[in-house]
Structure 1
């Protein structure tokens, strides 16, 4: 019997391998995973960890955070607030289609100031540093919850707080006498005076739009705020995905007085609900205790409806 040409035999072998691997990876493996996903205890997660209200309607997922704000982005005071979300798409915060981190780190402390004629909303090249964002959020949350919103390295200017960062010029580049000092995040025309009047005997200037401060040494100023701010860190920073539904028990407890007042119940009742929805460390030692805000707010509506 004549042997097939070598190239034909090679193609037939490749075709058999393709068919076998397609059967294994494209049919058998997915069916096996589907079967495992139907095991009691895993089926809920496989379907997206959906959350249902009393009427049986899907109201979210325990894996995805939500914003509890009105159409203008203002916090709904009768609900616990989530942590900030960096995932901002056409549908607003906590948009799973644009999940991702801001990629801003602890060294991102200097704002890209806006054109004075355009402002923050009109200048696409302007950008607030992570430090300024944290400062603004902290003071806003402090005002909302009735606590001190100040924190280290922030100017003490309420809702307009920015990162307290100086650009210091030295006579010999990085050493020598201080010759000039600029408050890099306080733009002239937007503040009456810089947050610090003098630095090492030199008067502090406000920053001019378009000013060249590349030669300055960036110098954050800690200030007099407590090292343990009343507003916890997770209240002013986003998670890596921007979709985390959890907050710390500290942030949840910070909000209990406001929730109790808005719902017309005692703080003890709200605190008990928070405690009920607080999960401990995984396996007793991994991670930190957390509160799922989506589940907590659903339970809040069921236990103490807004009148």
Structure 2
């Protein structure tokens, strides 16, 4: 029998390798891994889905908001940290805001200009969130670089070099009253929407306020999907939740402790509270 040409034998060998590898890597290996995962880690392999009254209410691995239809926090529930993932906790848009610590100057909306919208800096977002959390929890929402009205305490000085002759509180749109009356002997003006202040020197003014609201209450996680809050943020919310539900603070703190995960491997990170599991435990406590 005449042997096949070498090029045909090479193609047949490649075809056999393709079929064998397709079978192993495309069928056998996925089925094996799926079977092991389902047998040993059934809950985690299926998304760590949390159920209530026979229906899915979320995942223990993905955060969610506990707000009403208007976006207002529901008083009887612990609140999650902010999220920059889409409209909030959107797994399809997971990610951070990509705003850094030098993002401190707002873009004020120009009045009457179509298509021109204002844009809050990261600093003002943090200030506004801290003010809102403070009002919700009945504590001070003040922070060192924030104005009392919840924007970044930032000045633009003119000229950019040398002794200032003009100072503008660029994040406080007129007719707002600037957070300080004078800076280095110069009267501080409010910011005029639409005016270009880019030529000025940027100065962030540190106040004397001590931050009571924890950092995770005012900043989003890197993924935007973090289901946990810090123990400090949970403790800040205990009084409100207890009051709204007619419970004693000790009862609520006990549930917080039950739903607090320790450090990874005993030494990595900090203890954290799973907000969804905690709120479901509160619902079960009151039927």
Which residue of 2 is the match for residue 183 of structure 1? 169
Q: Let me know the Cα RMSD of the aligned residues.
A: 1.8
- Per-residue displacement from partner, 1:50-74 (whole Å, max 9, x unpaired)? 1122x33221110011111100000
Q: Does 1:218 align with 2:202?
A: yes
Which residue of 1 is the match for residue 144 of structure 2? 152
Which residue of 1 is the match for residue 58 of structure 2? 60
Equivalent residue of 1:167, what SS? strand
Q: Does 1:164 align with 2:153?
A: yes
Cα offset for 1:304?
2.4
Residues 202-213 of structure 1 mapped to structure 2, 5 A cutoff: 202-213=186-197
- Per-residue displacement from partner, 1:249-284 (whole Å, max 9, x unpaired)? 111111111111111111111111111111111121
Aligned counterparts of 1:155 and 1:80: Cα–Cα separation in 2: 27
Contact 1:96 1:243 in 2 (8 A): yes
Equivalent residue of 1:218, what SS? strand
Contact 1:115 1:123 in 2 (8 A): no
- Per-residue displacement from partner, 1:118-174 (whole Å, max 9, x unpaired)? 7xxx856421111101101111111111101100100012xxx1000111223xx4x
Which residue of 1 is the match for residue 130 of structure 2? 138
Aligned counterparts of 2:144 and 2:89: Cα–Cα separation in 1: 28
Report the TM-score when normalising by structure 1.
Answer: 0.88
Report the TM-score when normalising by structure 2.
Answer: 0.94
Equivalent residue of 1:204, what SS? strand
Which residue of 2 is the match for residue 126 of structure 1? 118
Gaps of 5+ in 1: none
Among 217, 221, 244, the residue aligned to 1:235: 217
Aligned counterparts of 2:117 and 2:16: Cα–Cα separation in 1: 57
Aligned counterparts of 1:107 and 1:23: Cα–Cα separation in 2: 53
Gaps of 5+ in 2: none
Aligned residue pair count: 287
Aligned counterparts of 2:279 and 2:66: Cα–Cα separation in 1: 9
Tell me whether 2-11 or 239-248 shows the greater mean CA deviation. Answer: 2-11
Aligned counterparts of 2:276 and 2:116: Cα–Cα separation in 1: 33
- Per-residue displacement from partner, 1:189-226 (whole Å, max 9, x unpaired)? 3x1x2112111111222222232222222111111211
